[in-house]
Amino acid sequence: MSGTTAIDREFFAKHAESARRAEEARTIFPGGVTHDARHFEPFGIVIDRAVGPRKWDVDGNEYIDYVMGHGALLFGHSHPYLVEAVTEQVARGTHMGGSSELERRWALAIQRLLPSAEKVRFTSSGTEATMMAVRLARAATGRDRLLRLRNHFHGWNDSVFAAGRTSAGRIAANGQPEAMQNLLSIFDQTDVPGIAAALATEEYAAVILEPSGYSWGTCPLDPSVPHELRALTEQTGALLIFDEVVTGFRASAGGIQERIGVRPDLTTLAKIAAGGLPGGAVVGRADLLDQISFEAGNGRVAHPGTFNANPLSAVAGERALRAVAEEDPISIANERAAQLSRGLNRALLEAEIGGCAWADASMVHIILGQDVARPDDGVTWDWDQHGGASSTLPTSPSVVAWSFRRAFINHGVDLMGMGALVSCVHTEADIDSTIDRFGAALADLRRDEIL
Ligand SMILES: Cc1ncc(COP(=O)(O)O)c(C=O)c1O
Q: Residue 432 has what pLDDT? A: 98
Measured CA to CA in angstroms, residue 388 lies from 151, 172, 182, 392 at distances of: 19, 31, 32, 12
How far apart, in whole angstroms, are the C-alpha atoms of residue 123 and residue 308? 5
- Which residue, judged by its Cα, is nearest atom 5 of ligand 1? 155
- Mutate which of 160, 245, 360 to test ligand 1's pocket (most atoms within 8 Å of Cβ)? 245
Span from the CA of 126 to the centroid of ligand 1 (angstroms) = 5
How far apart, in whole angstroms, are the C-alpha atoms of residue 248 and residue 259? 11
- Mutate which of 127, 134, 159, 212 to test ligand 1's pocket (most atoms within 8 Å of Cβ)? 127
Span from the CA of 367 to the centroid of ligand 1 (angstroms) = 22
Q: Residue 29 has what pLDDT? A: 96
pLDDT in tens, the chain (451 residues): 555 899 999 999 999 999 999 999 999 999 999 998 999 999 999 999 999 999 999 999 999 999 999 999 999 999 999 999 999 999 999 999 999 999 999 999 999 999 999 999 999 999 999 999 999 999 999 999 999 999 999 999 999 987 654 445 445 577 888 888 889 999 999 999 999 999 999 999 999 999 999 999 999 999 999 999 999 999 999 999 999 999 999 999 999 999 999 999 999 999 999 999 999 999 999 999 999 999 999 989 999 999 999 999 999 999 999 999 999 999 999 999 999 999 999 999 999 999 999 999 999 999 999 888 899 999 998 776 665 566 777 777 789 999 999 999 999 999 999 999 999 999 999 999 999 999 999 999 999 999 8
- Which residue, judged by its Cα, is nearest atom 13 of ligand 1? 155
Can you list the alpha helix ranges (DSSP code H) found in 43-79? 68-71
Span from the CA of 142 to the centroid of ligand 1 (angstroms) = 26
Q: Residue 368 has what pLDDT? A: 95
Sequence-distant (6+) residues with CB within 8 A of 169 are 398
Per DSSP, the chain holds a count of helices (H) and strands (E) of 16, 16
Atom of ligand 1 nearest to the CA of 247: 1
Q: Residue 169 has what pLDDT? A: 47
CA 327 to chain centre: 23
* Pick from 120, 36, 167: nearest CA to 317: 120
- Which residue, judged by its Cα, is nearest atom 16 of ligand 1? 246
Structural domains of the chain ordered from first start = 6-76+329-447 (3.90.1150.10), 80-327 (3.40.640.10)
If DSSP codes are grouped into helix, strand and coil, which group holds residue 322?
Answer: helix
H-helix or E-strand containing 358? Answer: strand 355-360
Atom of ligand 1 nearest to the CA of 270: 10
Q: How much of the chain is in helix, strand and coil states, percent to nearest 5? A: 45, 15, 40
Span from the CA of 227 to the centroid of ligand 1 (angstroms) = 23
* Pick from 378, 366, 379, 363: nearest CA to 423: 363
Atom of ligand 1 nearest to the CA of 280: 10
Residues with Cβ within 6 A of ligand 1? 70, 125-127, 130, 153-155, 210, 243, 245-246, 270, 280
Q: Residue 389 has what pLDDT? A: 60
Can you list the alpha helix ranges (DSSP code H) found in 365-447? 398-410, 428-447
- Which residue, judged by its Cα, is nearest atom 2 of ligand 1? 154
Span from the CA of 167 to the centroid of ligand 1 (angstroms) = 13
Span from the CA of 276 to the centroid of ligand 1 (angstroms) = 13
How far apart, in whole angstroms, are the C-alpha atoms of residue 62 and residue 262? 42
Q: Residue 371 has what pLDDT? A: 86
How far apart, in whole angstroms, are the C-alpha atoms of residue 320 and residue 73? 10
> Strand 413-414's sheet: what is its strand order?
47-51, 54-57, 62-65, 413-414
Atom of ligand 1 nearest to the CA of 127: 11
Say what the pTM is.
0.96
Contact status, residue 345 vs residue 374, Cβ threshold 8 Å: yes
Measured CA to CA in angstroms, residue 300 lies from 145, 237, 264, 285, 387 at distances of: 20, 20, 22, 16, 47
Length of the chain (residues): 451
Span from the CA of 129 to the centroid of ligand 1 (angstroms) = 9
Contact status, residue 191 vs residue 390, Cβ threshold 8 Å: no
Beta bridge partners of 65: 414
Span from the CA of 318 to the centroid of ligand 1 (angstroms) = 20
Atom of ligand 1 nearest to the CA of 278: 10
- Mutate which of 123, 128, 154, 241 to test ligand 1's pocket (most atoms within 8 Å of Cβ)? 154
